[in-house]
Amino acid sequence: MVTGFKHLHSANRYILLALLLLVIITSFQKWKGKKEYTKQDDKLNLFAFIFTHIQLLLGLGLYFTSDWVRFDDTTMSSPLIRFFTVEHIFGMLVAITLITLGRIKGKKITDSVRRHKLTFWYFFIGLVIILATIPWPFRSWAEAAGIGWF
């Protein structure tokens, strides 16, 4: 079951990153071009929001079942255990909170340009935090742990 969660969590990462990039690029272009906020923009924003929360649920399932999450004396001394027990979940929760706030606050704004700007900044900062806290295979401890692209 843990292996299934790992594969789903890893595969969903790429879908989520693509959706976030699409929202960010679209929001930026429409913000700078002073375009209307359309139903299509709202749907794209919603799909990114939904996939973000699916990723959260998959991640929480892993967090409470993974061998890489420990709460003992060795947690902070092992880069791998510290990353998954503290750094990864904290960064992702902050990013998901920002994306959620961007979605909720954006719905309350009627001015299209301001809505695109708000969506851009919240989703952009959320994406930067996500990219910083993904367990990329090129990290020094990742290769030893067998972490790959999938």
Per-residue pLDDT of 98-122, as tens digits, reads: 999 999 999 999 999 999 999 999 9
Report the predicted TM-score, pTM, of the whole model to 2 decimal places. 0.91
Q: For residue 55, which of 63, 66, 45, 67 has the smallest C-alpha distance?
A: 63
Q: Which helix (H) or strand (E) holds 62?
A: helix 39-63
Tally of helices (H runs) and strands (E runs) in the chain: 6, 0
| Predicted confidence (pLDDT) per residue in 31-52, tens digit | 999 999 999 999 999 999 999 9
CB 81 within 8 A of CB 74: yes
